[in-house]
């Protein structure tokens, strides 16, 4: 039986708060300790690289997916258990999502938001039932949660939207939530 796989979306930069890097490393280590495979964007920079290096050093399997045009920019991490180069960003997101059992979103930028919203939209449309967790390190995702509440109160989504993702305060809480969701 294949172990569970967790897709991690996060920044290709370290961010301004050292707590972001701490949670990235803690999550990578937690994935390994739980015996879960890391699925991620195959970059070796920022939070992405930190999650992967920590997961690898703690013994996790790693599955990285990167589009050809980002191999140099995000410094494609080729020493992963599985390393896939796609033609497009769309293909990258599809391969990552299809190869996971759950999604965790650490702090990140526009790319992480794009990935989160695609997973959220697909869930809203009934295309999957995978759990999606926002790791709200030091309140990073508070403005996003406020925006999603605004979207529902303004009538552009049903209140059920809030049931398609969960917010957790840090990597340790993400680990506990993943344990419950993947058991």
Task: Give the pLDDT confidence score for residue 76 in this predicted structure.
Answer: 85
Domains of the chain by range and CATH?
Answer: 6-182 (3.40.50.450)
Cα torsion through 59, 65, 71, 75, rounded to 10: -30
Residue % of the chain over a pLDDT of 90: 92
pLDDT of 46 over the 80 cut? yes
Judge whether 29 and 2 are in contact, CB under 8 Å.
Answer: no
Report angle CA 65, 70, 71 to the nearest 5 degrees.
70
pLDDT at residue 71 in the model:
82
For 82-105, the pLDDT digits (tens) are 999 999 999 999 999 999 999 999
pTM of the model: 0.96
* pLDDT tens for each residue of 118-175: 999 999 999 999 999 999 999 999 999 999 999 999 999 999 999 999 999 999 999 9
Helix (H, G, I), strand (E, B) or coil at 13: coil
* Distance between CA atoms of residues 75 and 43, nearest Å: 6
pLDDT reported for residue 75: 80
On the question of pLDDT at 112 being above 60, the answer is: yes
Q: What three-state secondary structure class fits 4?
A: coil
Tell me if 27 sits within 8 A of 106, measured CB to CB: yes
């Amino acid at each position: 039986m294949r172990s569970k796989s967790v897709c991690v979306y996060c920044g290709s930069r370290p961010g301004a708060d050292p707590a972001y890097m701490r949670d990235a490393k803690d999550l990578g280590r937690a994935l390994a300790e739980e015996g879960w495979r890391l699925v991620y964007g195959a970059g070796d920079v920022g939070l992405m690289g930190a999650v992967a290096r920590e997961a690898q050093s703690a013994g996790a399997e790693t599955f990285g997916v990167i589009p050809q045009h980002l191999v140099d920019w995000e410094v494609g991490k080729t020493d992963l258990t599985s390393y896939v180069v796609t033609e497009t960003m769309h293909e990258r997101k599809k391969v990552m999502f299809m190869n996971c059992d759950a999604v965790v979103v650490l702090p990140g930028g526009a790319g992480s938001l794009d990935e989160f919203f695609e997973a959220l939209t697909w869930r809203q449309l009934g295309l999957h039932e995978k759990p999606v967790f926002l790791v709200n390190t030091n309140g990073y995702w508070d403005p996003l949660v406020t925006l999603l509440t605004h979207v529902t109160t303004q009538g552009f989504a049903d209140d059920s939207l809030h049931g398609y993702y969960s917010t957790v305060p840090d990597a340790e809480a993400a680990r506990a939530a993943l344990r419950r969701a993947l058991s």
